[in-house]
Structure 1
Amino acid sequence: MKTDGRQLMSYAIRAEGLVRRFGETTALAGVDLGVRAGTVFGLLGPNGAGKTTAVRVLATLLRPDAGTATVAGYDVFRQAHQVRQVIGLTGQYASVDETLTGTENLLLIGRLLGYSRGDARARARQLLAEFHLSDAADRAAKTYSGGMRRRLDLAASLVGRPRVLFLDEPTTGLDPRSRTELWGIVRDLVGSGVTVLLTTQYLEEADQLADEIAVIDHGRVIAQGTSEELKAKVGGQALVVRPADPGDLAMVVGVLREVAGAEPELNQHTATVPVSGGDVLPAVVRRLEDADVTIAELALRGASLDEVFLSLTGHRAEDGTELAEVPA
């Protein structure tokens, strides 16, 4: 991994050459990461790309087959106990005990972390208020909505006041309103000094939250930078084409695929493809004119992170199959 002259301790998370295999499957194939303190770092990729495996290694839940990593300056292998004292982890699905109330869930975690009963109860009240769950504090978690459970789960990961928080696809299954609420909570946490490593397959989520993004596919980091830097890598523009006759859409797709060198995205009767050269638009126009295809809409616009991902990987972020992982 290249360095940029910053002091090592300015990074809350560093990983070099992480490799992890599960039988014949290589989940991580030499992952390098550098997450600056007090930022949101987005780890973006489809299911099965290696995101969750990377989080489990950094959170000391899995040992890698090769490579090194530190979290908050502690080696995740030799100093696992110290790492666990400074991190919080929220997985893809709420892990709260549904038979306990909101207060009881947080009180239990506080006691497990060594808080006195009074301190644990005070911390539970504080977090329930911060996460707008005070009115439901004495209700069993099984009566909570999906968004409420995710907020309670996130509150549980913060009982110990972690310096580094791992959020592994935290908004999976949430409705847009609940997702937006959780985004606000993440921004507030970072504003208070917490470092967040966020894994997600939602491109909008990465675009909204992450100061820096790494795109991971088949266990490798294939691109890294800010959202705008990644967009610039694929030219920063997308070509939108809608034929007057929907029956000509297949022809449009074929022309875009050949000229732009990427698989177009289809939306109703419109095809969109990322473009990186100024000669693509006139070439497409000429090809379609030669094929007697009449165009109802033709436009260049700024590329989205979705199109960046498509250009980098050849498939959409939501595509892919979960890797079958086994306990270490």
Structure 2
Amino acid sequence: MQRRAAVFRTSARRRIITGTALTASLALSAGLLAPAPAWAEPKPTRKELTAQQKKLADEAEKLSEQYNGLRERLRQAQRAAKVAQGSAARQKKLLEEARARMVKVAADSYKNGPSDPAAAFASADDPQAILDRSATLNYFARQDGGRVAQLLQTMQSAERARKSAEARANQVRQITDEAKKKRRELQAKLKKVEAKLGAGPTGRVNGGPVPSVDAGGASAKAMGAVRAALSQLGVPYSWGGGNASGPSYGTAQGANIKGFDCSGLTLYAYAQVGISLGHYTGSQYNAGTHVSMSQLKPGDLVFFYSDLHHMGMYIGNGKMVHAPQTGDVVKIAPIGGRPFAGGVRVA
């Protein structure tokens, strides 16, 4: 009896479950019940995208100047390797010349001197000539022997220097390649954010007339550099762009763009007045006399942030001309608003 009741209860539960499932199925097909929507992550607001773009652009500028610094180090290492290679080659040539002289001295001694110097001395019409010739040969043999030993040591040192310089150049080249890879990855991220914002590669815009600048005690060369920098107003920012000739092709938003980065602009401006600067904020920071903010004159280089990853050229009245960041152009801006790291007077 109990068993029959248990079977009945189980059968009843099954009929209820089946009925419930059937009812839900019919309700869905009739449109009475809708499936729960899939959860989706909320899209970032324009404000959030703009903040993200600004952060990525700042990181990009840091990386750009790090890359510029590595390029400078690589050029220096390559020059050092070339000098060391030339030195090793010169020492090798001198060594071969000294060896050749030793061979000649030995050959002359063999051809001209008899096998028994005592007999030659006793039988010679002019014994003094025998002594003189023997002393001369011994002298040159000793001199060249010592020179060969010295040259051999010098050549070995030069060869070690060459290998060390080449190893250093290869190491810096590897680091530079890694920085270039990171820069490409950062560019891709920035490009995606800017695509969402509707931003694209910037072309040159009309910078308008070049404003006049009061010299304020600045030198003629400094003022020449200021005019050269201001003549580039409106030229796009470009990572790695700029040289002594003017805007050069770098990258921005993943595209090749002819323009300047911050240190490329100041490099170009001072090249127009015959002053050579490195394409790196770090080397330009050490290119002249350091001045405080209160001592700034037009033409002074101004640096920002503890790692010096941004710079510009002071033009007076608390303003500078600079190449700000990717997506922007060379423009005039206040020097306030960024942490001031120092000023440098190069002319």
Higher helix proportion (structure 1 or 2): 2
Bigger relative CO (Cα 8 Å, ≥ 6 apart): 1
Normalized per residue, which structure has more strand? 1
Q: TM-score, normalised by structure 2?
A: 0.21
Report the TM-score when normalising by structure 1.
0.22
